[in-house]
Structure 1
């Protein structure tokens, strides 16, 4: 089954003639965006995350919280964001990239990608937090829907690997692989994990002034990316023909001493 090409849809943004964007309408993607913006607006109206700590304690994702049976955190952490910039970047990816994914996979496929990205991203963050705690370090609370955004983006690049991903003049395949491996390496390079060679590289990066890179949950990004890649590869798997099914059936029945009728 050949990978589907990303359809070149209208409307176009006039001042970016090379960019064709399919914008979601009154649909599930827009509804999620509205919920995220409304949630963060309420938080900011209360004074910001520092003024509603209990909300972030109960809904943000931590290893300690899940160990205390706060299993809902594996989903609810995606509803909160640390600031407007964090929220706007994620919302743009959800809305613009998500619109393309909806066009290709439909609403059910889009929802499956989003939920899988949130859950797998959260699980890998929990794995990282468990290692940090066992090594005597403090864990970081995870908030934001970045895992789902990475899942949507990698789904798109995998389904249409030969399409050019504006504004970066590279193919979808190269962009997807670059993001996956960069997030993997940045995750493994976290100094507190103590992984040989990788942690040494992370410490060198910190010495060069790049310590802020490790305030980002690259484990979550990598988990979301892998979820998107796996779902897209599953969709691209060839569907067996009727002849293939008959041959497989004949081989199974031959193995148990039966003849095909």
Structure 2
């Protein structure tokens, strides 16, 4: 099977349905967030209080001072209401597949959770330094939005000039503009004390900062990563065009298949430079034959 036979090289209109484009980890993140929200609501109706939130929401006192470190993870799967859950699920749905295809499934999950941890730490930092209003060390932080802001920054890093049309206001912006504008709004809401959710906005900024750091230094997730910020290297001189023998073409197709399988399992960032060059050459040759 050659590069043009792969599902993601075909016209996306042929796909079976809208939700067929959801990647594996994104699907499970959506299921977990929705399932935990429903379970917490059922328990609340039975016991009269939100039991899961009482043990899983992050607070400075319990998460840091008392040592309940699991709260750095569990708070990311709890939500304050249906609208909170809905907005975060939409964020995971739209930005998650980009990041999962980029990192690979396992490292994408690590990326998402670490951005959430970054959000909690930044929330704690701004609280103890007096940037956030009040000094309540028991103020809870819940929601997946810190991880989602990390995804937003990640997509803006890999595709800064991609154009997207907003629903409100109905304008077209680049991903770089969307990310900078969104983060600017969060910062303004903290500094101007508007909206009443300064703690949540601090979590958003912390998640975005963690996302940028992980994109800038991908080896922090345990591999060499893609050198997104590496200076451009001089392209090698083009070689004379020689018609390869059919046997060599078959070998090339096999190599391309192995590379595409590697992307599917571990993400584009796992490829070596030689593999990326081979994939680019195969794609160019395929297009020139059309």
1:218 matched to 2:180? The reply is no
The aligned runs of 1:152-231 (5 Å cut-off) are 152-167=151-166, 168-187=171-190, 189=191, 201-202=192-193, 210=194, 212-214=195-197, 217-231=200-214
Q: Does 1:63 align with 2:60?
A: yes
- TM-score for the superposition, normalised by structure 1: 0.69
How many residue pairs get aligned? The number is 208
- Quick one: distance in 2 between partners of 1:56 and 1:88? 18
Q: TM-score, normalised by structure 2?
A: 0.62
Distance, in Å, in 2 between the alignment partners of 1:149 and 1:9 is 28
The runs of 5 or more residues in structure 2 that have no matched partner are 1-8, 218-225, 234-290
1:145-187 Cα distance to aligned partner (Å, 9 max, x none): 1101111111101210110123241111111122223323333
Contact 1:43–1:49 under 8 Å retained in 2: no
Pick closer, same or farther for the CA change 1:69–1:111 going to 2, 3 Å. same
Q: Residue 216 of structure 1: CA displacement?
A: 5.2
Q: Which runs of 5+ in 1 are unaligned?
A: 1-6, 14-19, 190-200, 203-209, 242-261
Q: What is the 5 A alignment of 1:1-261?
A: 10=12, 23-25=21-23, 27-47=24-44, 51-66=48-63, 67-131=65-129, 137-139=135-137, 140-167=139-166, 168-187=171-190, 189=191, 201-202=192-193, 210=194, 212-214=195-197, 217-234=200-217, 235=226, 236-238=228-230
Shift in CA distance, 8/147, structure 1 to aligned 2, threshold 3 Å: farther
Asked if 2 retains the 8 angstrom alpha-carbon contact of 1:100 and 1:156, the reply is: yes
Question: Contact 1:58/1:65 (CA < 8 Å) preserved in 2?
Answer: no
What is the deviation of 1:11?
Answer: 5.0
Deviation of the 1:46 alpha carbon: 2.8
> How many angstroms apart in 2 are the aligned matches of 1:96 and 1:112?
18
* Cα separation, 1, equivalents of 2:165 and 2:14: 13
Distance (Å, rounded) in 1 between the aligned partners of 2:160 and 2:29:
27
RMSD over aligned Cα atoms = 3.2
* 1:134 to 1:35, Cα distance in 2 relative to 1, 3 A: closer
